[in-house]
């Protein structure tokens, strides 16, 4: 009963380093998305995908890349980390035509020094 699985749960990077946050879901959901959560700002949408091979930008896409080669996986890449990307990142998924209920992973806490 895994649901949405995110790895790693914690990561510390130096400015300029690159890394990938992994997200996998086992519910056969077409829609997957990445949010970042910052104090006092709620959750902001970074990128999303409505199916394999299809991705689109959300509210705050700069500095992040995504790809969707399979239904199950939706990795988020930071190409050159900056301190402004220190945040908690959440992956969420749902069936394509579901009425609003997103299923969230437990989050990945990233610190960029």
1 in contact with other proteins (CB under 8 A): no
24's tokens: 């996998």
Exactly one of 19, 22, 27, 50 binds other proteins (CB under 8 A); which one?
50
Provide CB contacts within 8 A for 52, sequence distance 6+: 68, 69, 70, 71
For residue 101, the minimal CB distance to other proteins (Å) is 5
Secondary structure (3-state) at 95:
coil
Per-residue x/- mask for other proteins, residues 5 to 34, rule CB under 8 A? --------------------------x-x-
92 in contact with other proteins (CB under 8 A): yes
- Between CA 32 and CA 21 the distance in angstroms is 14
45 in contact with other proteins (CB under 8 A): yes
């Amino acid at each position: 009963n895994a649901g949405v699985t995110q790895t790693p749960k914690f990561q510390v990077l130096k400015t300029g380093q690159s890394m990938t946050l992994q997200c996998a879901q086992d519910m056969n959901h077409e829609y997957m998305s990445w949010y970042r959560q910052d104090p006092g700002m709620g959750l902001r949408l970074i990128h999303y995908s409505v199916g394999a091979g299809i991705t689109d930008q959300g509210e705050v896409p700069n500095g992040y890349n995504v790809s969707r080669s399979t239904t199950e996986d939706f990795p988020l890449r930071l190409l050159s980390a900056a301190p402004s990307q220190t945040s908690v990142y959440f992956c969420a998924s749902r069936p394509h035509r579901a009425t609003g209920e997103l299923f969230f992973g437990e989050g990945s806490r990233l610190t960029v020094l």
